[in-house]
Amino acid sequence: MPTFYFRLAASARYGRERSPEIDLLRKGRHTVSLPEATARALGAYDYLAVVNRASERHRFESYPCLLRNPLPTIAIPLTEPDPDVPLDLQAALEQVYEDGSQALVVRYEDPCEPPLPADEQQWAWERWAAYRAAHPEMFPPTPVPPPAAP
């Protein structure tokens, strides 16, 4: 885990800052400030966003999300009396994905790691096929070589 995350998490727990935390990993250790037992009590989720306010250190707003659902819009607290600002995590992730050309970097034809249940993996491959079909400029058809001359 990058050092930045640990500094951010420490400031969220002990500092005056308000800090959203977003866990988009499907395996590994629990990373957000929300106690793990509390997070598990939320029920099944694949991804978790948590917001903690400086004025309410022991209160967490949690945003669990399943793989097949769009990421939620979360409330980012500002300094009082300013109202919260909504952050559409799905739109932000899609923008970063496009800007980083992740479609050309990640090997989506391979099974997910960690492995998904068979129905979830099939769904993921169908989503990838739909993405490729919607972006022919990024994925031109592979030309079939002519047959070899006799």
pLDDT band per the 50, 70, 90 thresholds, residue 91? very high
The pLDDT value recorded for residue 118 is 94
pLDDT band per the 50, 70, 90 thresholds, residue 103? confident
Question: How far is it, in rounded angstroms, from Cα 76 to Cα 51?
Answer: 7
Q: How confident is the prediction for the chain on average, in pLDDT?
A: 83
pLDDT band per the 50, 70, 90 thresholds, residue 17? low
Q: What's the gap between Cα 99 and its chain centre? A: 15
What is the rounded average pLDDT of the residues 13-22?
Answer: 66
The pLDDT value recorded for residue 150 is 67
The pLDDT value recorded for residue 7 is 44
Question: How far is it, in rounded angstroms, from Cα 107 to Cα 111?
Answer: 9
Question: How far is it, in rounded angstroms, from Cα 149 to Cα 147?
Answer: 6
The pLDDT value recorded for residue 3 is 35
